[in-house]
A and B are shown apart, each in its own frame.
Chain A
Amino acid sequence: MRILLAGMNHRTAPLEVRERFAVDDPEPWLVKLVAGDEIEEAVLLSTCNRVEVVVTTRRLDAARHRLRAFFTRELGRGEALPEHHSPHAVLYEHVDTDAVRHLFRVASSIDSMVVGEPQILGQVKEAYRAASGCGASGPVLSRLFSSAFAAAKRVRSETRLAERPVSVARVAVDLARQIFETLEDKRALLVGAGEMIEMALDALRGAGLSGASVANRTPAHAGELARRFGATAHGLAELPQLLSAADIVLTCIAAERPLLDVPLFEEALRARRRRPIFAIDIGVPRNVDPEVNRLDGVYLYDLDDLGGVAEANAEERRRESVRAEALVQEEAERFDGWLSALQAVPTIRRLRARAEAIRSAELERAAARLGLSEDARQGVEALTRAIVNKLLHAPMSRLREQAEREEGLAYLEAARVLFALDDPTAPGAEADLDGGAASAADAAPGGGEDDGASGGGA
Chain B
Amino acid sequence: MIELHQLTAALYLLASLATFAGLALPGSSFGRLATWLLAGGALLHGLGFARLHTLVPPPPLTDLPLAVSLMAWLAVLFALALVRRGRLESLAGLVAPFAFLGVFYASLSLGGAAAGAASQAGGWPHLHVVLASAGLSLLGVAGLAGILFLAEDRALKAKRRAGWGRRLPSLEALDRVNLLSLAIGFPLLTLGVITGMLWTEGVTGHWWPSDAHATWSAIAWAIYGALAAARFAAGWRGREAAASAAAGFAFLLFAVIGIGVVA
Chain A positions near chain B (C-beta within 8 angstroms):
174-175, 177-182, 273-276, 293, 296-297, 299, 301, 305, 308-309, 312
Residue in B152, B173, B240 whose beta carbon sits within 8 Å of that of A181 in the complex: B173
CA distance A164 to B68 in the complex (A): 52
Contact sample, A vs B, 12 pairs, CB 8 Å cutoff: A175-B161, A178-B161, A178-B171, A179-B171, A273-B237, A274-B235, A274-B236, A276-B172, A299-B156, A305-B159, A308-B161, A309-B159
Chain B residues contacting A275 (CB-CB under 8 Å) are: 237
Known: A276-B172, A299-B156, A301-B159. A181 touches B86 (CB 8 A): yes
Q: How far, in Å, is A441 (CB) from chain B's closest CB? A: 51
B238–A297 contact, CB under 8 A?
Answer: yes
Q: Are B159 and A180 in contact (CB under 8 A)?
A: no
Residue of A nearest to B165 (CB): A178
CB contact under 8 A between A296 and B170, given known A178-B152, A178-B165, A181-B86: no
**A121 and B161 alpha carbons, distance in the complex (Å):** 30
A181 in contact with B161 (CB, 8 Å): no
Contacting residues, chain A, for B156 (C-beta < 8 A): 175, 178-179, 299
Say yes or no: A312-B161 contact (C-beta < 8 A), given A179-B171, A181-B86, A276-B171.
Answer: yes
Evaluate whether A180 and B172 lie within 8 angstroms (CB atoms) in the complex, with A308-B159, A309-B161 already known. yes
Which B128-186 residues sit within 8 Å CB-CB of chain A? Answer: 152, 156-157, 159, 161, 165-166, 169-173, 176
Interface set, chain B 209-248, CB cutoff 8 A to A: 235-240
* Contact between chains at A296 and B172 (CB < 8 Å): no
Q: Which residue of A lies closest to B171 (CB)?
A: A179
CB proximity of A17 to chain B, nearest CB, Å: 18
Instruction: List the A side residues contacting B170 at CB < 8 Å.
Output: 177-181
B169 — which chain A residues lie within 8 A by C-beta?
181
Name the residue on B nearest A174 (C-beta): B166
Cα–Cα distance between A179 and B176 once the two chains are bound (Å): 12
Residues of chain B within 8 A of A274, CB atoms compared: 235-238
Among all A-B residue pairs, the 4 with the closest Cβ atoms: A181-B172, A181-B173, A305-B159, A180-B172
How distant is B216 from chain A, measured CB to nearest CB, in Å? Answer: 31
- Point out the residues of chain A lying under 8 angstroms from B159, CB to CB: 301, 305, 308-309
Q: Select A299's contact among B157, B165, B237, beta carbons within 8 Å.
A: B157
A296 with B238: CB separation less than 8 A: yes
Q: How far is the CA of A178 from the CA of B239 in the complex (A)?
A: 15
Closest to B170 in A: A181
Residue of B nearest to A301 (CB): B159
B234 to chain A, nearest CB (A): 10
Closest to A296 in B: B239
A171 closest partner in B (C-beta): B161
Query: With a CB–CB cut-off of 8 A, which chain A residues contact B161?
Result: 175, 178, 308-309, 312
State the Cβ distance, A268 to closest chain B Cβ, in Å. 14
Complex: A6 Cα to B239 Cα, angstroms:
46
Contacts of B235 in A (CB 8 A): 273-274
Taking CB as reference atom, which chain A residue is nearest B239? A296
Docked complex Cα distance between A308 and B158 (Å): 12
Residues of B with C-beta under 8 A to A305: 159
Provide the bound-state CA to CA distance between A182 and B238, in Å: 16
| C-alpha spacing A175/B165, complex, angstroms | 10
Tell me the bound Cα distance from A275 to B238 in angstroms.
8
Complex Cα distance A102/B237, Å?
A: 50
Q: Which residue of B lies closest to A312 (CB)?
A: B161
* Complex CA distance for A101 and B221, rounded to whole angstroms: 70
Q: Which of chain A's residues have a CB closer than 8 A to the CB of B172?
A: 179-181, 276
- A276 near B86 (CB under 8 angstroms)? no
Q: Is the CB of A181 within 8 A of B176?
A: yes
Give chain B residues whose Cβ lies under 8 Å from the Cβ of A174: 166
Cα of A301 to Cα of B157 in the assembled complex, Å: 9
Report the separation of the CA atoms of residues A275 and B166 in the bound assembly, to the nearest whole angstrom.
21
Closest to A180 in B: B172
Find out whether the CB atom of B166 lies under 8 angstroms from the CB atom of A178: yes
Closest to A299 in B: B156
Residues in chain A near residue B238, CB distance under 8 A:
274, 276, 296-297
User: Which residues of chain B come closer than 8 Å to A175, judged between CB atoms?
Assistant: 156, 161
Complex-state Cα separation, A296 to B157, whole angstroms: 10
Min distance, Cβ A76 to any Cβ of chain B, angstroms: 27
Set of chain A residues within 8 Å of B157, measured between Cβ atoms: 293, 299
